[in-house]
Amino acid sequence: MYDGRPALDNSAIITHWERMPFHPRLTFRSLKNESLPNLAGNDHHVFLYGLNLNGNSARAGGCRQCQAGYYGGNGENFMKSYRKELWFNIPARRGFVNITSQVEQCLKESGVSEGLILVNAMHITASVFINDDESGLHQDYDEWLEKLAPHEPVSKYRHNRTGEDNGDAHLKRQVMGREVVVAVSGGKLDFGTWEQIFYGEFDGGRKKRVLVKIIGE
């Protein structure tokens, strides 16, 4: 365990490593970008290392495989980091899917009770946004976006000269946005009354990803 004693300089120093029953082996890099050794074997491991930056002590650890990390001042309150990709395959060209329950499941898996959660589309013809889960509103969205950037004629979009037919989808995504950030309070998404998280598809018929990234305590 890091004992809080300052290092002789501002470089990262290894002070301790622990076997953890739920983390596979990993590699950490120090502030000097020097690779720390892999831990082999069947047991899972987490590295903890001490830092001294202007007299402030801290320690950190993490796991490459499950993509969880822990960072804490004075080795006490650790900040957790969580990452997961959600996959969607909307058969229609356009569609909206409420993904709030999937995001809530990610939050449960992360163990974070206070922090922030980022949810973003990883494709440039899809969106993630927050609004009401009301079918009439979704139909209004679809009609409004189709008026702003109609799919046809496909020849009107210079982008489609590349052989694509989704020039309109790029513009629709630009309007609806790439991501949302939601506060996490008491282990729950800190929403307004009618807020829900949606995935918006504007060029469907293939698998696409949404990234969920959570940081906090």
Tell me the C-alpha distance between 128 and 210, whole Å.
8
pTM over 0.75: no
Domain boundaries, the chain: 13-75, 84-216
- Taking alpha carbons only, the member of 131, 144, 160 closest to residue 94 is 144
pLDDT in tens, 165-193: 999 999 999 999 999 999 999 999 999 99
Among 3-12, 116-125, 169-178, the minimum mean pLDDT is found in: 3-12
The candidate with the shortest Cα–Cα distance to 126, out of 151, 162, 90, 101, is: 90
CATH of domain 84-216: 2.60.120.460
pLDDT tens-place string over residues 79-100: 899 999 999 999 999 999 999 9
The rounded distance, in Å, linking the Cα atoms of 16 and 144 is: 58
pLDDT tens string 202-213: 999 999 999 999
